[in-house]
Structure 1
Amino acid sequence: MHVAYVVKRYPRYSETFIVNEILAHEAAGMRVRIYALLPPQDSHFQDIISQVKAPVCYLSAKAERATPFWELQKRAAAIYPSSWQVLSQHQDASAREITQALELALHIHKHQIDHLHAHFATTSTTVTNIAAQICQIPFSFTAHAKDIFHQDNDYNLVKKKFSSAQFAVTVSDYNVDYLINELEIEPSKLVRIYNGLDLNQFPFSPYNNRPPHIIAVGRLVEKKGFSDLIHACALLKQRGTIFHCDIIGEGDQKRQLADLIQNYDLGSCVQLIGPLPQAQVKKRICESAMFVAPCVIGTDNNQDGLPTVLVESMALGTPCISTDVTGIPEVIEHNKTGLMCEQHSPEELAAAISQLLSSPEQAEKYAQNARMQIEQRFNIHSNTEILRKQFLKFQ
C-alpha cells in the first residue's frame, strides 16, 4: 500500500507525533510520501526527522496567475474528467487550496498512491478531500485539538470534512465524546488512536537522587497554562521551598510570561529556555524531579487533546503533574500514575509540586506505574498497526 501524508507544514518542531507515526509505518514496510502545503518556519527541528525515508514534496504555496492555473486545471481534467464537477462542489476552498489539490491529484496519478491521510481538520484536510474526490481514492484525517475546539472554526465546514472522509482518527476518548455530542459526528466515522511513541527511543530512567528541578515543555500559548505554573512557583518561593523551574518552548506569550517572572522576582529560580532539540529536551526531562503540564481550556476554547510531551515524560520515568482537562485524565490517574490538579489553580499546583519534592519514594512509584501504562496504551507500533488496518479496509 502506498499512502500519502498531507500536512500544513513539514517539518514542524511541535509535531513529533506525525514523524513518529510515519517512521512506524516505514518500519512496518508501508510506502509513504509526504506533501506539505507550506515550508517550515521553525528555527529548531527534532533529531528524528533525519530518520524519515519518505520523499517530501512542497505543493505551490501561492495560487498561480490565471493562465498557469487554467493549464493546471486542464492537465488534471485530461486525466480525471470529473475534476470540473468536483471543483464545483468546493466553492468555499481558497484559490491556493484548489491549486494544491490539483497538483496533489497529478502526484497521486504519477506515483500510484492508494490512500491519502491528512493531519488536522484544517486546510490540509481540505486539500486532501478535494484531491481524493478528483482521483476517486479514499482519504482520512486525524483531528487533534485546535482544529476541532477553537471558537473561530467554521463548524459546518469541519462537519463536512468528517462526512466526506472514509474515516477520521482522533487522539482521545474525550475528543470522541466531544465530536459525537457537540458536533454530531457519526460515531461510525471515528476511530480513537492515541499518539504513540517508539519506546526504544524513550528508555525508562530510574528516579535516583534527582535535584529539585521542575521542567515544563510546550508552546508559550494560553492553553499550556504556564502563567499558572509561574504563579505556583511564586507561592513556593514565598514558602521557602528550594527549587528551580525551566520552561522550554517558544510562542506568543513569551513577553507576558517573562514579565510575570520579573514581577514575582523569580529570575533566580524560573527561566524561559526557548526551543531545544529533542535530544536535549529528553535529557533535561530525565534529570528533573518532575514534569508539569498545567494545561487549561483557553478563553477562545482552544485546548490540548492530549499533550505528546506529557506521554514522553511519563515514558522516560519522570513523575508528572497535570490538570483535569480534555484527554489528560486518560493518561494520568491521580495518585497512581501522577498527580492531577484542577485547571487555573496555582495553589493546587504548588501543593502537588511540594508533595513530589518531599516524597521521592512516592514520586518514584508514580513514575514506575506511568511507564507501565505508556507501554500498554501508547506504543507507536501497536497504534499505527490499528491505523494501517483502517487504511486497508477501504482498498
Structure 2
Amino acid sequence: MKLAYLAPEIPALSATFVYNEILALTELGHEIIPFSVHKPIMPATDQHLDELRSKVIYLYAMPKKTVFFSHLKLLTKKPIHYIKALSECMKDMFQVNILSRDARGLFYRFFYAAKLAQDLVDNDIQHLHVHFAHVPTDIAMYASMLSGIPFSVTAHANDIFERGLLLDKKVERSGFFATISDFNRHYIQQTYQVDPGKLEIIRCGVDSRVFTRKSSIALSDPVRIGVVGRLVEKKGIDTLISALAILHTQFSDFKVEIAGSGPLEEELKQQVNQLALTDKVVFLGPLPHDQVVKFVTGLDLFVLPCKKDKQGDMDGIPVVLMEAMMVGTAVISSKISGIPELVINEQTGMLIEPDNSEQLAAAMLELIKDEASRTTLIRNAEKKVQQEFAQDINARRLQTLFTETIGRF
C-alpha cells in the first residue's frame, strides 16, 4: 500500500511510537509519506531516522501562498469534494460556536488541509493515518473530504480526555478510529456515544529486536531505581520523590536516576533538596531514544507513578513501561487509565493508587527484598509484552485495518 502518516511532530523524542510504527510498516513493504503539523521542538536524533527525517513534510512551515494555490487546484479539479468539505467545515464551526477560538482554529486547519489533500492526490496515496485525535485529526478529516482519500486515527490520552472537540464526528467520518487501551475505548464510547463498531484497539508497540532481555536480573549495589518521562504533573515524579524519603528510613542502599525534562524540573529538584535526597537522586535531562534501551536495562526498578493532573489529563499506557518490561526490569506504576492492562498488579508488575507515596515506598521495598517475587514478575512481564505489545504484531493489525478500509472506499 501507499500510505501517508500525520502527527503533531515527526520525529519527536516524546512520541517515538509514531516513527517506530512508520518504520515497522515500511519493513512490511508499504511506502509511507510522513507529514507533520509542526517541526519537532525536541526532535529524536537517532541516526537510523535520517532517511525518515528527510522525507517529512511540515504543513505549518508551508508558505501560505503555496497553501492558497492548493485550494485553487482542488476547487478546479475536485469542485464537488471541495464544496462539500468547506460546507462541513462551516457546519463544524457553527456547532462549536462560530465566534469562538475553536471555530477559528477549525478554519485555520481547513486552510492547511488543502495542502495535505493536494499532496495526497499528487502522490497517489491510498490511505491517511493520523496519530492524536485533536489538531492533526482536524486537518486529516478535512483533507480526506477534499481529496476523497480515507483516513483513520489512533487516539492516545489528552487528545480524548481534555481535547475531544468534535470527537463524535471524527469517529463517524473516519475509516476506523483506534485507541491504545480498552479503558480509552470504553471512555470514548460512553462519553461521545459513538458507534462501537468503528472503535479499534491498537497498542503502541515495542521492537523486541532492540529491547532484548538482559543477562542477569540480580540487584545492583547500590540498587538502581529510575524513570524516563517528561517532568510534568501527570507523570507523578513528585510522588516518587516523596516515596524515596520514606524508603530511605527503611533501606538506604539505592540510587535514583530521573531522565527527562519539563516545566516541573526546578520544582522537583527543590523537593529533592528539601527531603535531603541530593546524594540519592540525579537528574539526567532528556535522553535520546537510542539510549533508552541501555538506561532501562541497567535499572533494577523502573518506577512511573502516573496520576491525573489538575486539568484532568492522564497518561494512556506509557511505552517506556513496555520497554522496561521487555528487557527484564521490574516495574511499578499506578492504577490509572489503561496502565493496568499492561501492568497487572502482582502478576506483571506492581501497581499503587495514584499519588500514594506510602504505597509506592512499600512496593519498592518489597521488590528489593523479595527476589522470588521480582523474578516471577519480570518473567510474566516480558511474556505479556511479547504477546500483546510487540511492535510487529500491532503493525500487522494496522495493515489489516488499512486494507479493509481501502477496500470499502
| C-alpha separation in 2, matches of 1:159 and 1:177 | 14
Tell me which residue corresponds to 2:87: 88
Whether the aligned pair in 1 keeps the contact of 2:67 and 2:112 (CA below 8 Å) is: no
Tell me which residue corresponds to 1:172: 181
Q: 1:77 aligns with which of 75, 78, 98?
A: 75
Residue 50 of structure 1: how far off its partner (Å): 3.8
The aligned runs of 1:322-337 (5 Å cut-off) are 322-337=333-348
In the superposition, relative to structure 1, how do residues 315 and 96 fare at CA in structure 2: closer, same or farther (>3 Å)? Answer: same
| C-alpha separation in 2, matches of 1:240 and 1:363 | 17
Residue 54 of structure 1: how far off its partner (Å): 8.1
2:188 is aligned with 1:188: no
What SS does structure 2 have at the residue aligned with 1:251? coil
How many pairs are equivalent?
A: 390
2:24 is aligned with 1:24: yes
The aligned runs of 1:250-329 (5 Å cut-off) are 250-329=261-340
| C-alpha separation in 1, matches of 2:317 and 2:392 | 19
2:138 is aligned with 1:140: no
| C-alpha separation in 1, matches of 2:44 and 2:394 | 27
What SS does structure 2 have at the residue aligned with 1:391? helix
Tell me which residue corresponds to 2:117: 105
**CA offsets per residue over residues 224-280 of structure 1, 9 Å max, x none?**
000000000111223342211111111111121111111111111012211112232
Residue 99 of structure 1: how far off its partner (Å): 2.9
What SS does structure 2 have at the residue aligned with 1:262? helix
Whether the aligned pair in 2 keeps the contact of 1:140 and 1:165 (CA below 8 Å) is: yes
The amino acid across from 1:2 in the alignment is K
**CA offsets per residue over residues 303-350 of structure 1, 9 Å max, x none?**
111000001100011001111111111111222211111111000000
**CA offsets per residue over residues 4-33 of structure 1, 9 Å max, x none?**
001111111011111121111011101111
Quote the sequence identity (%): 32
The amino acid across from 1:97 in the alignment is R
Whether the aligned pair in 2 keeps the contact of 1:3 and 1:31 (CA below 8 Å) is: yes
What SS does structure 1 have at the residue aligned with 2:382? helix
| C-alpha separation in 1, matches of 2:346 and 2:106 | 49
User: What TM-score comes out, normalization by structure 2 length?
Assistant: 0.91
**CA offsets per residue over residues 66-99 of structure 1, 9 Å max, x none?**
xx66543212212211213312321334454123
| C-alpha separation in 2, matches of 1:131 and 1:54 | 23
In the superposition, relative to structure 1, how do residues 149 and 47 fare at CA in structure 2: closer, same or farther (>3 Å)? Answer: farther
Residue 156 of structure 1: how far off its partner (Å): 4.7
Tell me which residue corresponds to 1:388: 399
| C-alpha separation in 2, matches of 1:51 and 1:243 | 41
| C-alpha separation in 2, matches of 1:310 and 1:88 | 44
Residue 390 of structure 1: how far off its partner (Å): 0.8
The amino acid across from 1:81 in the alignment is P
| C-alpha separation in 1, matches of 2:251 and 2:297 | 25
Tell me which residue corresponds to 2:245: 234
| C-alpha separation in 2, matches of 1:39 and 1:3 | 20
**CA offsets per residue over residues 335-390 of structure 1, 9 Å max, x none?**
22111111110000000111111123321221111111111111211111111111
In the superposition, relative to structure 1, how do residues 44 and 37 fare at CA in structure 2: closer, same or farther (>3 Å)? Answer: closer
What SS does structure 2 have at the residue aligned with 1:255? helix
Q: 2:380 aligns with which of 365, 369, 390?
A: 369
| C-alpha separation in 1, matches of 2:69 and 2:268 | 50
What SS does structure 2 have at the residue aligned with 1:19? helix
Residue 3 of structure 1: how far off its partner (Å): 0.7
2:354 is aligned with 1:343: yes
Whether the aligned pair in 1 keeps the contact of 2:130 and 2:153 (CA below 8 Å) is: yes
Provide structure 2 residue ranges, at least 5 long, that are not aligned to the other structure: 91-102
What SS does structure 2 have at the residue aligned with 1:176? helix
Whether the aligned pair in 2 keeps the contact of 1:142 and 1:169 (CA below 8 Å) is: yes
Over aligned residues, Cα RMSD in angstroms? 1.8
| C-alpha separation in 2, matches of 1:34 and 1:44 | 15
